[in-house]
Amino acid sequence: MNTSFNFKNSVGTALIAFFMMPSAHAQIWKKLQKSAERTVERKLESKTEKETGKMMDSILDPSQKTSPQKGPSNDPNTSPNNQSSTSDDGSNTSAATVKKNVSDNLEVYSKYDFVPGDKVLFYDDFSQDFIGDFPSKWNTNGSGEVVRINNSEGNWFGLKSGTSVFYIPDSKDLPEDYTIEFDLVTKGLSRGTTSGAALRIYLSDENNLRANSKHRVEVSIPLYQYNPFPIMARNYFNGKGAGIDSSVKIDIREALLNQPHIAIAVTKNRFRLWVNEVKCLDIPRMVTELNVLNYLKFNVVSLKDGEEHLFISNLRIADGGEDLRRKLLSEGKISTNGILFDSGSPNIKPQSLGIVLQISQVMLQDENIKLNIVGHTDADGNSDTNLTLSKQRAESVKNALINLYNIPAGRLQTDGKGSSVPVADNTTPDGKAQNRRVEFIKI
């Protein structure tokens, strides 16, 4: 609030000075005043959203303090899901506004319906790459490098802008049902960013470094800041347009400046895309030919070289073929690594609540079901610390079921196994991602 007070004093002084000047300056003053008011509004909004984020932490994890001054910060915009650090880790929605990854209303997150795939097919947080190198698990016909970014955990891959520059992660043979997730950091975007600036995502039948292919799906996420710009989606099968040429009006400008989380779900023909908690695309007949889109490609266009930058990390591709609700009912047990936590922390990431929502639906359907929630970590760090952390994470999932979905506490138990029961190799990012998991077991 001191910033706002000092700013208002400055504006008042400037106002007096301008009234003493000729009327020719009146229009200039109005423009300056409007610009100043927008600056104050952005500062106040940012402060409010950060405090709301802390409030969410205390609800998901009651062990956290509720006081904004005393409680630890868990703003997802400054702490990305770096999953391999030292401790562990059509119809469309239109006319919406995507804000930061901290919502003013927890109900938005509790109804977030993205459910990440359960079996990890590819994961890269660039933790095994040297700073300054091109990432070892990617290919390109251009250039790029792994970097560290102030106020953002872990390593990030800087993608260079260019109409014909493509980046392909070493993943292939995508199934019919799968999910794609990643985090973005942008630098230098402003009202001067060109309207053509975009991150383009391709699902393609060809493992080559170009856009055109016989079968493909294209999505263009705008990086433009001056005005809201639509998200574009197109599909091409058998060498020609297949009927989808979608332009969805949605405002993601603020989200782009605050480290958004991007999520994509492909379920046979259906294609959905979320920016943070908001579903931006939902096209039921986007993929008209099944089992042909085997590769993922990225392309960044129209950013100013040396001034505007885009970075990616925590890319996770996972098989999304199972309905966890049906499996839990039929088999009495499920294991998922789709529930993500802050690094070395029991705090659940908001984008993981889709799975918790599914668990709550099972328990609401059958009031006799009781569950034991068991947490697991990877092998990074001290084994005793990991054991404690795994128990705390199971407790956080329990608290989310109780506080967000009204599941009675008496129907839930928790336990943790630390890193003692691995299901994959703990020396690779892919293996660690599989070992960080939560089990739900019917009692």
Choose the most confident range, by mean pLDDT, from 60-64, 81-85, 106-110, 160-164.
160-164
Q: Residues 377-409: pLDDT tens digits?
A: 999 989 999 999 999 999 999 999 999 899 999
Q: Residues 215-272: pLDDT tens digits?
A: 999 999 999 999 999 999 999 999 999 999 999 999 999 999 999 999 999 999 999 9
What's the whole-model pTM score?
A: 0.67
- C-beta separation of 101 from 259 below 8 A: yes
Question: Given this model, what pLDDT does residue 110 score?
Answer: 58
Question: Given this model, what pLDDT does residue 402 score?
Answer: 94
Q: Specify the range with the lowest mean pLDDT, choosing from 111-125, 224-238, 361-375.
A: 111-125
CA nearest 223: which of 250, 248, 189?
189
The answer to whether residue 64 scores a pLDDT higher than 60 is no
Q: Which two tokens stand for residue 166?
A: 């493509």
- C-beta separation of 123 from 433 below 8 A: yes
Question: Given this model, what pLDDT does residue 322 score?
Answer: 61
Q: Which two tokens stand for residue 108?
A: 């938005």
Is residue 116 very low, low, confident or very high in pLDDT (cuts 50, 70, 90)? confident
Q: Residues 405-416: pLDDT tens digits?
A: 999 999 999 999
Instruction: Render 40-95 in DSSP notation, one character per residue.
Output: HHHHHHHHHHHHHHHHHHHHH-TTS---TTTSPP--TTTS---TTSSS---B---S
What is the C-alpha to C-alpha distance for residues 424 and 322, in angstroms, rounded to an integer?
A: 20
Question: Given this model, what pLDDT does residue 297 score?
Answer: 98
Find where tokens 């504006």 sit.
11
Question: Given this model, what pLDDT does residue 277 score?
Answer: 83
